[in-house]
Amino acid sequence: MAQKFDLVQEVSAGVEDRAAAWRFVRGFARDWASPLTDGDGWSEEDLAAAEERLGVRLPVALREAYLLLGRREDLTSNHDTLLSPAELYLDDRKEALVFRQENQGAASWGVLVADLGEADPAVFVRMDLADKRSEIWERWLDRLSLTFIEIVLSESVQAPGELTDFLGELEEEDLETLERDCTRLPFPEYPLCQQPPGTRWFTGPGVLLREDDRAVLYARGRTPEALDEVRDQIAGDWLNDYR
């Protein structure tokens, strides 16, 4: 009998270890979406072509992520976009290798060129500003493998369909309910882009929750019923609640 996927335990392990991060991705896909298959990743040939074009070697963790789930847009690109190997690029100042972009082009995520030799380097974010001279790369998450846990979680709560919803304008009592009745995932709090307070993750029975800046809440249920329970628990003007 297959062991039950424990979201809290698997996130906790994945935060500490690269191999455990990929185990988390496999388990989450199996339990919350559909299992990963051999065709869900890009090929070694795709990655080699990207390296030849760019003139750099991709970090081990980025290669592993692309080989594992790079083609699974439901896990990587519902809102922001994980670039394909053919779309990877060095920014205009040749400071970073960019692998992810915000859906309206407002931000980019990348690995500093100076860090490309590391197996699991830190990820940096850069905002797209009117004054290009003010654009700088700022540290976002400490490891690439950690970033792919974040990508899978974030893209899952922003997937289309009846299993996701959004609540804006969180009240103080909503935050109190969230913190009291739901379990905080052991994922480090991180800025939405660059500014605090940032993003926190929670879970409840059959539901995944992302709270941004103590202001808005995204929800993903494993079932419509689980999502309805959260809507009832944290009352408000949920965007997709047509009951």
Mind listing the pLDDT tens digit for each residue in 70-107?
A: 999 999 999 999 999 999 999 999 999 999 999 988 89
Q: How confident is the model at residue 29 (pLDDT cuts 50, 70, 90)?
A: very high
Closest CA to 151 of 74, 217, 204: 74
Q: What's the CA angle centered on 188, arms 67 and 198, to 5 degrees?
A: 105
Q: What's the CA angle centered on 31, arms 27 and 36, to 5 degrees?
A: 55
CA 172 to chain centre: 26
Section 213-221 average pLDDT: 96
Secondary element (H or E) of residue 76 = helix 73-76
Indicate whether 4 pLDDT > 90.
no
Which of these CATH numbers, 3.30.310, 3.90.550, 1.10.3470, 1.10.10, describes 161-233?
3.30.310
User: Where along the chain do the CATH 3.30.310 domains lie?
Assistant: 161-233
The answer to whether the beta carbons of residues 189 and 104 sit under 8 Å apart is no
Residue 109 in 3-state DSSP? strand
Q: How confident is the model at residue 200 (pLDDT cuts 50, 70, 90)?
A: very high
pTM for the model stands at 0.95
Secondary element (H or E) of residue 11 = helix 7-16
Mean pLDDT over the full length of the chain: 94
CATH of domain 7-151: 3.40.1580.10
User: What backbone torsions phi and psi does residue 127 show, to the nearest 5 degrees?
Assistant: -85, 145
Better-predicted residue by pLDDT, 191 or 129: 191
pLDDT of residue 1: 41
H helices of 106-185, in order, are 144-157, 172-181
